Amino acid sequence: AGRNEAGDRSPANKEKVLMVDAALFAIREIMEDFPEAVLYGQDVGRRLGGVFREAATLAEQFGDHRVFNTAIQEAYIIGSTVGMSAVGVKPIVEVQFADYIYPGLNQLVTEISKSCYLSCGKFPVQTLIRVPIGAYGGGGPYHSGSVESTLLTIKGIKIVYPSNAADMKGLLKAAFLDPNPVVMLEHKGLYWSKVPGTEEAKTTEPSRDYVLPLGKGTIVLPAEQAKVDAGETCCVITYGMGVYWAKAAAKNFTGQVEIIDLRTLYPLDEDLVFTTVKKHGKCLILTEEQQNNSFAEALAARVSKACFKQLDAAVEVLGALNLPAVPMNMLLEKAMLPNAEKVAARIDALMRS
């Protein structure tokens, strides 16, 4: 996919699309352009078209030999991509919910992540694994979980996490073209922009040739230069739903908060992260995951070391409470997860420190 953004991100004549539809349109275009592409997983076939309607009409257009259902068996869904890739097929597969990826972890770790390395490059596995993730209104302990820290301990796979429709389409194209295995984490609460404050997840649909390279973060909200110069700013580094919590919280601190959307968790855009932290001297890393031993805490350690001389305060991390699961009860779910108010309180404390 190259290192530079290609194609038109915001064509003048295109309508705004939901994130779930941006993924659908991207896969449709991929399947039209690449006859070797197939899509399979639980319920993505003709009858249902995905539990989120994320594969609607694809089986009708491309046939049951290219878009089909599997058994409820994640080890097969993930593991079969090794054989598919070996014979020149390019599989796009779906694990129905992030919480159900665990039966497939053995295949992901033992086969997929190691194949290219152990064969000295002879047997790379080119696969795209789509995983709906995150808490979305009372889904309960088996439909609300986050798994990125678990996946990020696996070497040999790339992990992307878009927060809006344009990034979804651009990253999905780049992930498909990448010769490495890529896991795409897609927040269910952003699919339809139904969660209050997530309207901006809906964007103009990028052009057919739009590709957003993996490993490139972006500044979604810049701070005012005058306030940076006065030393009155901080940055928030986040991804997924965290982008919208941070944007809402930043409204309480006009011009004082700069927000980075990582977009790719591995490979990480360290240049953007470190440059931004050094500019502000204060940093909050925000995640939906339970905080202890998370990717966010690991990133905080890297930021603390790389930016030590420029920091004016300890690097802050805000994640969910360290509970075994996301509760079904909506009040308990709200108490567990970060939100705009919790982020604003943490920014306020950081600014005063």
Active-site positions read 143
User: Which among 137, 78, 142 is positioned nearest to 331, based on CA atoms?
Assistant: 137
Query: What sign does the dihedral 331-334-340-346 (CA atoms) show?
Result: positive
Contact assessment for residue 289 and residue 149, using Cβ atoms and an 8 Å cutoff = yes
Q: Which string of DSSP letters, residue by residue, matches 283-340?
A: EEEEEEEESTT-HHHHHHHHHHHHTGGG-SSPPEEEEE---SS--SSHHHHHHHS--H
CB atoms within 10 A of CB 324: 7
Q: Which string of DSSP letters, residue by residue, matches 142-209?
A: TSS---HHHHHTSTT-EEE---SHHHHHHHHHHHHH-SS-EEEEEEHHHHS--STT-GGG-EEPPPTT
DSSP 60: H
| Euclidean distance between CA atoms 336 and 141, whole angstroms | 12
Calculated CA dihedral for residues 182, 187, 188, 189, nearest 10 degrees = -170
